[in-house]
Amino acid sequence: MFTIETNKIPDNAGVYLFKDRKWSILYIGKAKNLQKRLSQYFSPNSLRKQEMLEKAEKVDFLIVKNESEALYLEDNLIKQHQPEYNNLLKADNSYVYIKITKESFPQIFLTRKRINDWAVYIGPKNDTIQLKKFLQYMRQILKFRGCKPTEFKKWKLCSDYYFGICAWRCKTNVTLSETKGIKKLYSSLRSEWQTKKIEEYKNIINTITSFFKWNTKPIEKEIHEQIEIAIIHENFERAAQLRDIYQSLQWFVERQNVVLPEKKDGYLALVKTIWNKYIYTVLIFTQGKLIDVITSKEQHSDIEEDSLYLAIQRTFGEAKIEKNKNEVLISSTDLAKLGKTVKKELWKLAENFVESYIITQSMQEESTMINDMFATLKTRYGLKNMPYRIECIDISHLSGWWTSGGLSCFMAGLAYKKWYRKYKIKAKKSDDYEALQELLERRQKNWWEMPNLLVIDGGKGQLWVVKKLCKEKPKRKEIVSQIDIISLGKWEARKKSSIWTQWKKGEIWEIIYHFDENLKIHETDMIYDQADKILLKARDEAHRFANSYRKKQMSQEFR
């Protein structure tokens, strides 16, 4: 049985694929944490899928954004490839939709069939049991209709009304009295009352549909109000139930991009240049479902750039080509017409698949692409060392108070949390440079292992702090001569919503500051390829770690 270094596998959500020596897929699974799940297969006393592991020669994985995305991708790939050791999910009946019928007072229920009947379909969703619970929760809060058309037309109170989960909207269907004198008055009052009720019900439907478009505030507000009412009436059991509903809301609105909102066929390919290689991934969609992912590489010496694009189009169909420096997005005709938001999310999904491929290749080849990316960073920023070990430091504070520092560590492009460090800063209020100086001095006193590259989250001013420290003591200059130090300009990088727009326009919106041999500061535009993204991940981790420690300090003081 083959083995892998599970510590090199990221702890993201994703899908993993075991393959035999002929590269046929034996088993497909999904995980909330890929590293933990795959570690279970290779632990000494594991009994998990032992027969399958005897045949397996390789394991690939695909990193995705969240568990929902992993669920759908696993489902699609199993239906497409029908692996030998997957017994579940092979039938095409696992997706479920929330259906809102087209009526004055629409019904809301679950269905597995999506037909052209002018109804609104929300989904697809994967967990039917949880969805049923969710609709029960929503009926308790919003009191929408739950009866079928035949019962709705009877104008008869049902058990739903007495249980407090229906607002008796079927009253609008009451048959008018035939008394001539008051028929006109009844008709007028009934029409006015019905219009008001229809408008109220329309608002309820809009609240539910907007909830699944990630606007959760109206429902959250309604739940808060009902919790307050329950507490006033000392109905604490009801308040606790509403609290549990509130805590479960985020699960239902997790975004996923492996099943499109429209039933489109086509493909989307992302081509990247890493050192002397082209890395490309192709996402293939059928009826709006991502059914396959093909990722591979080509040497620059073996194929020209334009020839590669033509080869992809000959294989998968005509497409629109969008170029930007070392990155190219190729979209088939139907997918090129998708909205900007959906296309942006698909682009990010393809980025994740490229990253997955690089890590799997690095685990299974002697000449790794990780080393190619390190060589790219070394050449691009004039580094002295190959940045195998990267540390990043960041300062966090709230209007100058509770200042804290965070240090993240990356080894071979992956987070190495054993060497993360947090610092409680004692420098005076509202002085980032003094806080940085303190953190650097404390880090210098504890060189348990020197990094190849030290990244500072900030800008040009942060490197001036390093330069100042070098002038004060020659020993510090000696350390700086042994390791590489760069600063990552951060202000535009925080505007994550602009990434797609900037990428499309080809604009540079972040700068790397670095020293030469004489400690003169130089500027280089970031390219945002896979090599630069190692630096960005280290920066984001340091920022997250510093923020979490600051919040912990605040909570302790408040307590």
Residue 18 is predicted with a pLDDT of: 92
Q: What is the mean pLDDT of residues 228-238?
A: 86
Q: What is the DSSP string of 172-199?
A: GGPPPP--HHHHHHHHHHHHHHHHHHHH
pLDDT band at 365 (very low <50, low <70, confident <90, very high): low
- Report pTM: 0.67
Quick: pLDDT tens for 45-82: 766 677 888 888 888 999 998 888 888 888 889 888 88
- Do the beta carbons of residue 253 and residue 212 sit within 8 Å? yes
Cα maximum dimension of the chain: 106
Residue 285's beta-bridge partner residues?
A: 266, 290
Quick: pLDDT tens for 467-512: 887 777 766 667 777 888 898 885 454 444 454 455 445 455 678 8
Name the residue with higher pLDDT: 427 or 541: 541
Buried-exposed string 420-455: b where 16+ CB fall within 10 A, e elsewhere: ebbbebebeeebbebbbbbbbeebeeeeeeebbbbb
Q: How far apart are CA 558 and CA 554, in angstroms?
A: 6
Q: What is the mean pLDDT of residues 519-527?
A: 84
Q: How far apart are CA 78 and CA 84, in angstroms?
A: 10
Q: What is the mean pLDDT of residues 273-292?
A: 87
- Do the beta carbons of residue 384 and residue 399 sit within 8 Å? no
Mean pLDDT, rounded, of the chain: 79
Name the residue with higher pLDDT: 554 or 356: 356
Residue 429 is predicted with a pLDDT of: 62
Quick: pLDDT tens for 209-222: 777 766 778 888 88
Task: Work out the burial of residue 511: count CB atoms within 10 Å of its CB; fewer than 13 is exposed, 13-18 middle, 19 or more buried.
Answer: middle
Quick: pLDDT tens for 318-334: 888 888 767 888 888 88
Closest CA to 62 of 48, 77, 52, 49: 77
Q: How far apart are CA 35 and CA 32, in angstroms?
A: 9
Alpha carbon 481 to its chain's center: 39
Residue 268's beta-bridge partner residues?
A: 283, 331
- Do the beta carbons of residue 76 and residue 289 sit within 8 Å? yes
Quick: pLDDT tens for 78-110: 888 888 888 766 665 567 888 888 887 788 888
Six-digit token string for 256: 């996923």
- In this model, does residue 356 exceed pLDDT 50? yes
Six-digit token string for 124: 């697809």
Homologous superfamily of domain range 374-558: UvrC, RNAse H endonuclease domain (3.30.420.340)
Residue 324's beta-bridge partner residues?
A: 327
pLDDT band at 195 (very low <50, low <70, confident <90, very high): confident
The domain spans of the chain are 6-81, 96-252, 266-366, 374-558
Quick: pLDDT tens for 133-174: 778 877 777 777 777 777 777 666 677 776 767 766 565 444
Query: Position 9: which residue type?
Result: I
Homologous superfamily of domain range 6-81: GIY-YIG endonuclease (3.40.1440.10)
Residue 269 is predicted with a pLDDT of: 92
Q: How far apart are CA 370 and CA 412, in angstroms?
A: 7
- In this model, does residue 261 exceed pLDDT 70? yes
- Do the beta carbons of residue 260 and residue 285 sit within 8 Å? yes
- In this model, does residue 175 exceed pLDDT 80? no
